[in-house]
Amino acid sequence: MNIKRIKREDAVLTAIDFQEKLLPAMFEAADVEASACKLAEGLKVLGIPNLVTTQYAKGLGLTVVPVADALGEFEPIDKSSFSAWNNEEYRTALENSGRKTVIIMGIETHICVEQTALDLMENGYTVFIPADCVQSRDPKNRELSLRRMEAAGAVITCAESILYELLGSSKAAEFKAISAIVK
């Protein structure tokens, strides 16, 4: 059995296309935005680096303000391919991070998130998908995509599980900060 765990020194967050004209069209958009903000804020506290993509920002807008604020400083990587992996700037940034565990949050689950996850796994990365931080316009598409990614080897989990796994103990220096974020 291949148990996959997240370790701080090996983890990186990829936030996919939380854009001004895309996010409002998602099913339960406010819920996915809130969960994504909690995860991004918690990972920032834990010192986990992030990579942030936009899909054709000129037409679909920038990263929504709440998610951008939670992420902290970042340089958005604008892409035209659905898979972030097929964008040279993203691929180079990920490779240069030296990290092999990618936590993916974003929209739409069954398009950009799924294609990125499949490409990452095909190229030797371990992928974690917090199900509460991904969404599609149609919830059926999200569910089918989560099943496909899991069958392909991705770990389907939730934001809180990721944050507490990275903490490891209530004695961790960041415990109080993380507890306040997830409340």
Mean pLDDT by 10 residues, the chain (183 residues): 88 98 97 98 98 96 98 96 98 98 98 98 98 98 98 98 96 97 93
Which residue in the block uniquely carries the two structure tokens 């398009």? 111
Catalytic residue (choose from 17, 37, 119, 133): 17
Q: Could you confirm whether domain 8-182 is CATH 3.40.50.850? A: yes
Angle at 136 between CA 134 and CA 140, to 5 degrees: 110
What is the value of pTM for the model shown? 0.97
Catalytic residue (choose from 38, 44, 112, 132): 112
Annotate the chain with DSSP letters as a single string: -------GGGEEEEEE--BTTTGGGSTTHHHHHHHHHHHHHHHHHTT--EEEEEESHHHH-SB-HHHHHHH-S---EEESSSSGGGSHHHHHHHHHHT--EEEEEEE-IIIIIHHHHHHHHHTT-EEEEEGGGEE-SSHHHHHHHHHHHHHHTPEEE-HHHHHHHHH-STTSTTHHHHHHHH-
Beta-strand relationship, 77-79 and 50-55: parallel
pLDDT confidence of residue 138: 98
Catalytic residue (choose from 37, 44, 79, 132): 79
Cβ burial, residue 59 (10 Å; 0-12/13-18/19+): exposed
| Known catalytic membership, residue 17 | yes
pLDDT confidence of residue 3: 82
| Known catalytic membership, residue 176 | no
pLDDT confidence of residue 2: 75
pLDDT confidence of residue 1: 62
pLDDT confidence of residue 37: 98
| Known catalytic membership, residue 112 | yes
Tokens of 90: 């993203």
Query: What are the domain boundaries of the chain?
Result: 8-182
